[in-house]
Amino acid sequence: MAIEESEPLIPELETEENLIAAARHLVKALGSNSNLTSDAKKILVDLGFDMNAISTSSEKEEGKHGQGGEEDVKEMAEDEEGQDVNAIEDQLGVIREKIMRWEENHSMIWDLGPEEAYEYLNVANDARQLTEKLESLHLSKEDKMYKFLSRADTLLQKAMARLEEEFRNLLFQNRQPFKPENVSSRSGEEDAVDENSIVSSGNETVEEPLQNDSVSGAAEAHMIDLVDPDVILDLRCIANLLFASNHVQECSHAYTIVRRHALDECLFNLEMERLSIVDVLSMEWGTLNFKVERWISAVKIFVRVYLARERRLSDWIFGEGEPVSIVCFVDASKASILQLLNFGEAMSIGPHQPEKLLLFLGMFEVLANLMPDIDALYSDEVGSSVKIECHEVLKRLGNCVRATFLEFGSAIASDASSNAVVGGAIHPLTEYVMNYLRNLTDYSETLNLLLKDQEEDDTISLSPDMRPGTEEDSKSPGSPVRVSTMALHIRSFASILESNLEGKSMLYKEAPLQHLFLMNNIHYMAEKVTGSELSHIFGDEWIRIRNWKFKQLAMDYERASWMPIVDLLKDEGIHVSGTNSISKTLPKERLKNFYLVFEDIYRIQTAWLIPNVQLRTDLRISTSLRVVLAYRSFLRNHKSDISDKHRRYDTDELENYFFDFFGGHQKWLQYPHRR
């Protein structure tokens, strides 16, 4: 075998080899053109990589079977003129001069422009090819060319170390800053995108088909570049050469370290700090609520936007679907995704407090929605540990949701406040429970999934009070109704609340105020259900019964509060305190007693409160009609017995005073005028 001095690495032997050499020369020339689009650069680097692979394969075959076989080794060893030795020595000298020049220069080669960069890539590749060529000769230490193998390998290792450093620096210096405010994370149907998306690349836009994506196409709704697209070609060229020189581990390690740092920086920009389980469990409610909201937003952006592009970046540099690409992505991203999962795990470990249920539900839903994306990102065996951990945290959050929801009824029943609400207004427990239940309807599907008992049929026969009112129900009374597990529990919570409220009403000494308190709260419950998603859970029949209840309570209030005063104006007489007899009293005395009782009721009940404007107005009118009508009849029937000096109020004045009732502000009537 003869090695020519002019072209030692591209022997002019066969047409195929000449074509390969020409293609490589074309790749080298076009690769330095900075005006190429990203697609063109990607095609070039793939072509260059293929040329290297073909060349390497051909050289190895020659070493085994062709002119580089054992006979050639002997021929070269026996060459007395030493022409081949001189040629290789000259080539080594050229390679050494170029490589060592950069050993003394500590500046980054790629900072000096594409010409210098590609020159170094070529000389490094020359060192690789010469080393492989000499290795294929199976030289022994006695062979004259053995010393060249050692020198070539030393130069190759120096070049690979330099390229590893250049690769790391290029990757680090050209990372793109991640700005969460520029990304709107969407989920569900909103994440759907067109079959083709537009990717920004330098000054050009390149249509990038999504059919072959290794992750969900929804990620393409958020186009961000994690690394300057202009250096992707260079990074891939360096990686290809490092891989061809058996420096896969070094290149992968350099990539992983840089991208792991970038992912940590992303979490920092998303305001995701590292928190221990103790940190989470000891947080105050306001801080915890804020942290959970921040986590929900961050995890969507991180998985669907950042990790999706991180996987794409790895594929661009190392080749889509290549094992090394998958390993690098997993190694770079594992710590960051586990940091996010640790927060979810810490939340699931904490106490099952009812106020945390909506937080648990929000976290469970977002993680459940992201699981298809996570499964796709970590679909290979190397990423199975990440995928398994995600599923475990999701399971723990689901168990936490279920336990917290089921304990809610106990929390309602055990609320035993010893202080009555001032004025018989709506109890805070009523507001909390009903608003809580309304919020839960946003998670109906999730709750039903988590609560459904696999051993039970979800067809439950309910009493009319618990059955949703539908047209089918009215046609077939008493027939079983399909009720979701969540709906059954929510109705149970409402019943527990009503029972608790009845107990709380006994905190009031006055019977009228007991009725007023229950009226306010039952009305509030019915109002919260009517016109909301809760109406589908409780049904028309439940609403009808509660409407009847609060109206009945209003009547009970009127009877307890105003019947005694109306009795004072009846001609049959009045009860004498402490006796069972009816005593006839003079009209003016009866009128005086009426005024005393009315003014006392006025003083007390103006401080009572009916928050609902319509309910307050209706009860004022109803009460005033009952009392004013009796007052007017009494004055008319006894006008001969009662002079003007005995009348404190005329009928219009008395009627107007009723509009001061139930406003929550106590007032007094101190004989406004005497006559």
Closest alpha carbon to 346 in 360, 333, 358, 332 = 360
pLDDT in tens, 511-533: 999 999 999 999 999 999 998 99
pLDDT above 60: residue 396: yes
Q: What single DSSP character describes residue 424? A: G
Token pair listed for 604: 């007390």
Q: Which residue has the higher pLDDT, 418 or 567?
A: 567
pLDDT at residue 41 tops 60: no
Higher-scoring residue by pLDDT: 572, 112: 112
Among the listed residues 431, 458, 463, the one whose alpha carbon sits nearest the alpha carbon of residue 447: 458
Q: Which residues pair with 197 in a beta bridge?
A: 208
Can you give the pLDDT at residue 572? 62
Element (H, E) at 326: helix 323-349
Q: Is the pLDDT of residue 378 over 80?
A: yes
Mean pLDDT to the nearest integer, 456-469: 42
Tokens 């390679």 — which residue?
A: 95
Give pLDDT, residue 639. Answer: 78
Among 74-83, 274-283, 447-456, 480-489, which stretch is predicted with the lowest mean pLDDT? 74-83
Give the separation between CA 537 and CA 530, rounded to whole angstroms.
Answer: 11
**Mean predicted confidence (pLDDT) in 212-227:** 52
The pLDDT of 162-166, averaged and rounded, is: 92
What pLDDT does 73 receive?
A: 45
Asked if pLDDT for residue 444 goes beyond 80, the answer is: yes
Q: Which range (115-124, 391-400, 599-608) has the least confidence?
A: 115-124
Tell me the pLDDT band of 468, cut-offs 50, 70 and 90.
very low
Instruction: Write down the pLDDT at residue 51.
Output: 56
| Residue 50, pLDDT score | 55
Q: Which two tokens stand for residue 91?
A: 């080539």
pLDDT at 318: 93
Write down the pTM of the prediction. Answer: 0.71
Residue 140 token pair: 């022994």
Question: Mean pLDDT lowest for which of 127-136, 434-443, 481-490?
Answer: 481-490
Per-residue pLDDT tens digits for 471-496 = 334 333 443 446 788 899 999 999 99
Average pLDDT over residues 316-323: 90
pLDDT at residue 651 is higher than 60: yes
**Looking at per-residue confidence, does 4 or 143 come out higher?**
143
Supply the Cα-derived Rg of the chain in whole angstroms. Answer: 43
Which are the contacts of 522, defined by CB distance < 8 A and separation ≥ 6? Answer: 498, 501, 546, 549, 550, 553
Q: What angle do CA 613, 615, 618 make, to 5 degrees?
A: 105
How would you label 583-618 residue by residue, b for 16+ Cβ within 10 Å and e otherwise?
eeeebeebbeebbeebbebbeebbbbbbebeebbee
Q: Is the pLDDT of residue 81 over 70?
A: no
- Mean pLDDT across the stretch 123-135? 88
182: pLDDT confidence band, cut at 50, 70 and 90? low
Cβ–Cβ < 8 Å for 494, 517: no
- φ, ψ (nearest 5 deg) of residue 600: -70, -45
199 vs 233: which has the higher pLDDT? 233
Output the pLDDT for position 615. Answer: 95
Q: State the pLDDT at residue 641.
A: 81
pLDDT at position 112: 87
Helix (H, G, I), strand (E, B) or coil at 586: coil
Decide if pLDDT at 5 tops 60: no
- Please give the mean pLDDT across all residues of the chain: 78
Which is more confident, 554 or 469? Answer: 554
- pLDDT of amino acid 364: 95
Alpha-carbon span 525 to 497, nearest angstrom: 10
Res. 281 pLDDT band, cuts 50 70 90:
confident
Higher pLDDT, 593 or 199: 593
pLDDT at 225: 82
pLDDT-based confidence at residue 452 (cuts at 50, 70, 90): confident
pLDDT-derived band at 430, boundaries 50, 70, 90 = very high
pLDDT in tens, 547-577: 999 999 999 999 999 999 999 888 764 444 4
Confidence of residue 458 (pLDDT cuts 50, 70, 90): very low
Residue 435 has pLDDT above 70, yes or no: yes
The answer to which of 179-183, 193-197, 650-654 has the lowest mean pLDDT is 193-197
SS (H, E, C) 140-201: CCCCCCHHHHHHHHHHHHHHHHHHHHHHHHHHHHCECCCCHHHCCCCCHHHHCCCCEEEEEE
8 Å CB contact between 538 and 498: no
The b/e string for 375-410 (b: 16+ C-beta within 10 A; e otherwise) is ebbbebebbeebbebbeebbebbbebbbebbeebbe
Lowest mean pLDDT among 120-124, 138-142, 352-356: 138-142
